[in-house]
Amino acid sequence: MNNTVLAVILITTAFLIGCSGSSGDGQDEILVFAAASVTNALNEAVESYERATGVNINISYAGSQILAQQIASGAPAQVFISAGESPVEFLRGRGLVDSESALVSNKLVAITKRSLTEQSLAALLSPNIERIALADPDVAPAGTYSREALRAAGLWESLQPKIVLGQDVRATMAFVEAGNADIALVYITDAAVARGVETLDIVPHDSYGPIVYPVVTVKSDESTEAADAFVQFLLSPDAQEIFRSNGFEPVR
């Protein structure tokens, strides 16, 4: 892990240490760490949950591996939603996972503002494509899946001079939106909210592993009843419909 990423983890962890527990009036509060790619859907689900229960949900969004590192460093998250299994394995190996369920699934697509004559990943080799944005595989599962897909296509090494990395999938999407990259590989749920881009379904679905989002409760000496109840809500038909309406698919 590079020094910049480590500094972000340490600073953010220190800030978050005081952000969990109960509010001054005794009302339950839950601190949720969540992959950036669930931002829209989770915000909508949380709004519904808070309205129905009065529980305050505080959310920190970032790349899943960064969030897992923060939890391992002592950040008091009670619920963690990861965009892949690897960050959860990292926490499980440190004895920090209390319970785990599969929440939703997703898939990779490309977004661009350019016209591609060839509708395949091979189009990335074109001289007209100068900068390709990916989430950083070291901190975000979206980058790991993208790297898998490009390796399966035999393109990973040859595309290295063109690749620029974002800290998470939303930052990667922003490269294309701002005109700082010609194309990006992102989740289809992020493509759905990207501004002024075209979505291209050019990433073979069998070229990367299943994109399943685990939701876990983090092991703690304190009561996990509020966290457990929130997770059960996320798995409920009402919350699953919110995720589906935002482009996520059920886990099969």
56: domain CATH number? Answer: 3.40.190.10
Q: At what angle do helices 237-245 and 39-53 cross, to 10 degrees?
A: 150
Alpha-carbon gap, residue 88 to 86, rounded angstroms = 5
Q: Which of 175, 240, 82 has its CA nearest to residue 91?
A: 82
pTM tops 0.95? no
CB atoms < 10 A from the CB of 224, how many? 19
Q: Answer whether residue 32 is part of any domain.
A: yes
- Spans of the chain below 70 pLDDT: 1-27
* Residue 17 belongs to domain spanning: 3-106+211-245
* Whether residue 215 sits in one domain with residue 90: yes
In this predicted model, what pLDDT tens digit does every residue of 52-76 receive, in sequence order? 999 999 999 999 999 999 999 999 9
What is the predicted pLDDT for the residue at 27? 55
Q: Answer whether residue 152 is part of any domain.
A: yes
Alpha-carbon gap, residue 50 to 56, rounded angstroms = 6
Contact 134, 140 (CB under 8 A): no
* Whether residue 38 sits in one domain with residue 96: yes
Q: Answer whether residue 99 is part of any domain.
A: yes
What is the predicted pLDDT for the residue at 1? 47
Q: Answer whether residue 251 is part of any domain.
A: no
Number of structural domains the chain divides into: 2
